Homo-oligomer: A and B are copies of this chain.
């Protein structure tokens, strides 16, 4: 009996996601689909367009059986830590047998080979990477090129250009990181590739399988609801409209602006230097830009470099907002996901949940009221700190809603979504 895991953001849940979910179930013959999903902030370093419960409900009404939250401290991280946190979450359920993910290049052996190099970092590869970085290439390209050189030299059969192109596909990058995470955690979960359909990850045009980016872009249009409708499964469209009608979205990057600009002007360079991924004097660059700039976009353009691209800067700004320090990030990475936070379940998910209860290797947070008991700061300091960060993410996120919806503490009051 197999249970398939999916790592997702569903920001929002669209036709491509539905296709992938169906394929995952079919390709593995799984009796259930378990999703691990980003919470209110996503891996690009942005707030999600609607909140985590609404996005979990979309997934459930489109065929998922269980949706767990990927803790903030893994969701808003580099592809490596995101994938590692997600794979560990699935692994720690104790019941997931397969993981299914999309890729632009559905060539599992090739992706495995690349994952192996990135994981093992052979001497030759590291020397080449360093040389390319020293020549001034940006990191993703230098890394792809170093892997490509290594593989084409050692295997002789691989076309270096093919390796290079493969490593530049955004879904391939994540796929490689999932494979690497499975390898590094010695997980017995079996990886299954599903070819992608439709638009690329970054594509902003609305085609039949429009990307989530394109769909989010439509919100600047007054007729957005009609514009996005063809690209969303009907439950997803319905939930999106309902949430926005209730004043709970669309949450956008612009909502971060007043808070972040004030916070960055307020913080000292040494406070910034304590934040995760702020290194090499970036704190001074940020301080200077915070003073000079009159908008968040202006600030980011002043701060970004080849090494710190826009997405990385976006994530760093969230680390600043949520005070994710180097110390905290290190303790979270050492522990890995410390709990399974249930966001929602289907009737068949209920049965899987019972199985998870008996087999899972970490705390299962199901009824929200038990959290304070389960996760006391004394008995579980790291887990509690990890959870408190998720709570803060929701509490800040709620401030971007319409005024009547801005109260905090939702993590303690909203129960997991149950669909019939």
Residues of A participating in the B interface, judged by any CB pair closer than 8 Å: 258-259, 261-263, 265-266, 290-295, 321-323, 392, 395-396, 399, 403-409
A408 touches which one: B265, B405, B406 (CB < 8 A)? B265
With both beta carbons as reference points, the residue of chain B lying nearest to A255 in the complex is identified as: B258
With both beta carbons as reference points, the residue of chain B lying nearest to A400 in the complex is identified as: B258
Question: Cβ of B259 and Cβ of A407 under 8 Å apart?
Answer: no
With both beta carbons as reference points, the residue of chain B lying nearest to A412 in the complex is identified as: B291
Other CB < 8 Å A-B pairs besides A266-B323, A290-B408, A291-B395, 13 of them?
A258-B258, A259-B263, A261-B406, A262-B399, A265-B392, A265-B395, A265-B408, A266-B322, A292-B407, A292-B408, A292-B409, A293-B406, A294-B407
Contacts of A266 in B (CB 8 A): 321-323, 392, 396
Rounded to whole angstroms, the CA-CA distance of A295 and B295 in the bound complex is: 24
- What are 21 A-B interface contacts by the 8 Å CB criterion? A258-B258, A258-B259, A262-B321, A262-B399, A265-B392, A265-B395, A265-B396, A265-B399, A265-B408, A266-B321, A266-B322, A290-B408, A291-B395, A291-B408, A291-B409, A292-B407, A294-B404, A294-B405, A294-B406, A295-B403, A295-B406
A258 touches which one: B321, B322, B395, B399 (CB < 8 A)? B399
Question: Cβ of A407 and Cβ of B262 under 8 Å apart?
Answer: no
Known: A263-B263, A266-B323. A291 touches B407 (CB 8 A): yes
With both beta carbons as reference points, the residue of chain B lying nearest to A267 in the complex is identified as: B323
| A47 CB, nearest partner CB in chain B, Å | 12
Contacts of A403 in B (CB 8 A): 294-295
With both beta carbons as reference points, the residue of chain B lying nearest to A398 in the complex is identified as: B294
Contacts of A392 in B (CB 8 A): 265-266
| A349 CB, nearest partner CB in chain B, Å | 30
Contacts of A295 in B (CB 8 A): 403, 406
| A398 CB, nearest partner CB in chain B, Å | 8
Contacts of A408 in B (CB 8 A): 265, 290-292
Question: Cβ of A399 and Cβ of B261 under 8 Å apart?
Answer: yes
| A319 CB, nearest partner CB in chain B, Å | 12
Contacts of A322 in B (CB 8 A): 266
| A357 CB, nearest partner CB in chain B, Å | 30
Rounded to whole angstroms, the CA-CA distance of A263 and B323 in the bound complex is: 11
Rounded to whole angstroms, the CA-CA distance of A258 and B260 in the bound complex is: 10
Rounded to whole angstroms, the CA-CA distance of A399 and B292 in the bound complex is: 11
Contacts of A263 in B (CB 8 A): 259, 262-263
Rounded to whole angstroms, the CA-CA distance of A123 and B292 in the bound complex is: 55
| A68 CB, nearest partner CB in chain B, Å | 24
| A237 CB, nearest partner CB in chain B, Å | 28
A262 touches which one: B259, B290, B293 (CB < 8 A)? B259
With both beta carbons as reference points, the residue of chain B lying nearest to A409 in the complex is identified as: B291
Contacts of A290 in B (CB 8 A): 408
Contacts of A406 in B (CB 8 A): 261, 293-295
Rounded to whole angstroms, the CA-CA distance of A395 and B265 in the bound complex is: 7
Contacts of A265 in B (CB 8 A): 392, 395-396, 399, 408
| A55 CB, nearest partner CB in chain B, Å | 22
Rounded to whole angstroms, the CA-CA distance of A258 and B407 in the bound complex is: 13
Contacts of A291 in B (CB 8 A): 395, 407-409
Contacts of A404 in B (CB 8 A): 294
| A265 CB, nearest partner CB in chain B, Å | 5
Rounded to whole angstroms, the CA-CA distance of A265 and B403 in the bound complex is: 16
With both beta carbons as reference points, the residue of chain B lying nearest to A408 in the complex is identified as: B291
Contacts of A261 in B (CB 8 A): 399, 406
Question: Cβ of A293 and Cβ of B258 under 8 Å apart?
Answer: no
Contacts of A262 in B (CB 8 A): 259, 263, 321, 396, 399
